[in-house]
Amino acid sequence: MVGTELLLGEIVDTNATFLARNLADLGIDVFYKSTVGDNLERISGVVRAALRRSDIVIMSGGLGPTDDDLARETVSLVTERPLEENPGVLRDLKHWFAERYGQTPMPDQNRKQALFPRGSQIIPNPVGTAPGFWLEKDNKLVIALPGVSHELRTMFTETVGPRLSSLGSGQVLVTRNLHFVGIGESSLQEKLADLLREQTNPTLALYASGGTVRIRMAVKASTRQVGLGQMKDLEAEIRKRTKEYCYGADGQTLEEVVAQRLVEQELTLALAESCTGGLIAHRLTNIPGSSAFLNRGYVVYSNQAKAEDLGVDPATLEQFGAVSAETAREMAQGARLKSQTDLGLAVTGIAGPTGATPTKPVGLVYISLATSGDTIVERHLWKGTREQVKNRTALMALKLLWQTTK
């Protein structure tokens, strides 16, 4: 991991976490991780040591256009392979700048991003200017990727991972994750106590974060198919005991599952958000094709907007306040009626740090879902920061939607 900023404690190194997890999934043992600043001598020392003790060295960072970006130079030095300009990459770089900035020519600085140690294979970067490279020498393999997270992730997922998996030992670590909402880590642990105690192959582990819990099953097997087969019975048993809480597996998100159900059941949705301020709409519109079910959303931050856009009765706002079961209900019904959708989902609450009253503390939230039949209203009281209250509220609103579309 190359970058002085990583040694200053100003950023947390999530690239390393991503790579470690993905390498584990490929059955490649990660024995060492080294972090070093943007200094040619020090990076070279680290890469030399890494090549002595490991078969594969993956580098992150140092592929940018500035003088500080030294990954190419280091690998060239250590492997004694001179840097050569790749005409195809240079053309792509120029094209990228032309497309983005019109007439502006590519800055001279960026020309170095087309340099690679002789014998490298290019790792395409579909989401940025810095391509990576893959260099084999003396039975060792060096892979250089950019430090920008989404570029590293895209390039690993699209190119590096598939190529590495074809190199491996024959055994792969197969993992499968199940995701839970509406149940705490300890309650889930109790339901599965005997399994957690006795289960060794596949192994089982629980991880909690931000209102959801993840169960991770892992097994080493000759192929992914065989590994998944070995986890089938265990998964069935877990699901049997926990089905009202398990919303998905592996990469699935709650909004994805909800979106899928709404599309399948041909249901349309309108949102009315106060304390989440657009977060529910943001999460649902992260799903491609969400326009099929999401007709619209209202971020009704003022009482005026609640009344004008959703038809909440000013008397309700006056009598019960903006944060109340009554207002939540009228917001959900109003959003549904106004948009002529099947469902209207509303949240109102006090995200903090200000806005609390003697009877309404920070973290008090009402969630309401209006359907063609009845209208549900839930009351919650969260602890935490403004962002945590927003996140937890959005999660529980999506959960309500998920439960209702079962």
Within 48-87, the residues that bind its own copies by CB under 8 A are: 49, 53, 64-68
- Using CB under 8 A as the binding rule, whether residue 180 contacts its own copies is answered as no
Instruction: Report the residue from 75, 135, 284, 345 that binds its own copies according to the rule CB under 8 A.
Output: 284
3-state secondary structure of 57: strand
Rounded Cα gap, residues 66 and 76, in angstroms: 17
Neighbour-count burial for 122-149, b at 16+ CB within 10 Å, e otherwise: bbebeebbbbbbbbeeeeebbbbbbbbe
Q: Which of the ranges 46-54, 219-227, 237-245, 397-405 carries the binding residues for its own copies, by CB under 8 A? A: 46-54
Touching its own copies, residues 290-309 (CB under 8 A): 290-291, 294-302, 304-305, 308-309
Q: Which of the ranges 76-84, 158-166, 180-188, 326-334 carries the binding residues for its own copies, by CB under 8 A? A: 180-188
Q: In the bound complex, what is the minimum distance in angstroms from residue 341's beta carbon to its own copies? A: 10
Q: In the bound complex, what is the minimum distance in angstroms from residue 48's beta carbon to its own copies? A: 11
Q: In the bound complex, what is the minimum distance in angstroms from residue 15's beta carbon to its own copies? A: 10
- Which CB, 116 or 382, lies closer to its own copies? 382
Neighbour-count burial for 169-178, b at 16+ CB within 10 Å, e otherwise: eeebbbbbbb
Instruction: Report the residue from 91, 100, 163, 241 that binds its own copies according to the rule CB under 8 A.
Output: 100
Rounded Cα gap, residues 277 and 274, in angstroms: 5
Touching its own copies, residues 186-225 (CB under 8 A): 186-187, 189-190, 196, 205-209, 216
CB neighbourhood size of 359 (10 A): 8
Touching its own copies, residues 243-282 (CB under 8 A): 271, 273, 276-282
Amino acid at 367: I
Touching its own copies, residues 355-384 (CB under 8 A): 355, 381, 383-384
Q: In the bound complex, what is the minimum distance in angstroms from residue 186's beta carbon to its own copies? A: 4
Q: In the bound complex, what is the minimum distance in angstroms from residue 240's beta carbon to its own copies? A: 21
Q: In the bound complex, what is the minimum distance in angstroms from residue 9's beta carbon to its own copies? A: 3
Structure tokens at 316: 């309700």
- Which CB, 35 or 403, lies closer to its own copies? 35
Number of residues in contact with its own copies, rule: CB under 8 A? 109
Rounded Cα gap, residues 273 and 354, in angstroms: 18
Neighbour-count burial for 201-235, b at 16+ CB within 10 Å, e otherwise: ebebeeeeeebbbbbebbbbbeeeeebbebbeebb
CB neighbourhood size of 11 (10 A): 12
Q: In the bound complex, what is the minimum distance in angstroms from residue 242's beta carbon to its own copies? A: 16
- Which CB, 48 or 137, lies closer to its own copies? 48
- Which CB, 57 or 271, lies closer to its own copies? 271
Structure tokens at 44: 């070279």
Touching its own copies, residues 139-158 (CB under 8 A): 148, 150, 154
Q: In the bound complex, what is the minimum distance in angstroms from residue 166's beta carbon to its own copies? A: 21
Q: From residue 98, how far is each of 7, 90, 104, 130 by CA, in Å?
A: 35, 12, 7, 16
Q: In the bound complex, what is the minimum distance in angstroms from residue 274's beta carbon to its own copies? A: 9
Do the beta carbons of residue 231 and residue 202 sit within 8 Å?
A: yes
Q: In the bound complex, what is the minimum distance in angstroms from residue 366's beta carbon to its own copies? A: 17
- Which CB, 162 or 184, lies closer to its own copies? 184
Instruction: Report the residue from 8, 138, 240, 358 that binds its own copies according to the rule CB under 8 A.
Output: 8
Instruction: Report the residue from 88, 168, 229, 289 that binds its own copies according to the rule CB under 8 A.
Output: 289
Rounded Cα gap, residues 78 and 70, in angstroms: 12
CB neighbourhood size of 255 (10 A): 21
- Which CB, 7 or 236, lies closer to its own copies? 7
Touching its own copies, residues 9-28 (CB under 8 A): 9-14, 16-24
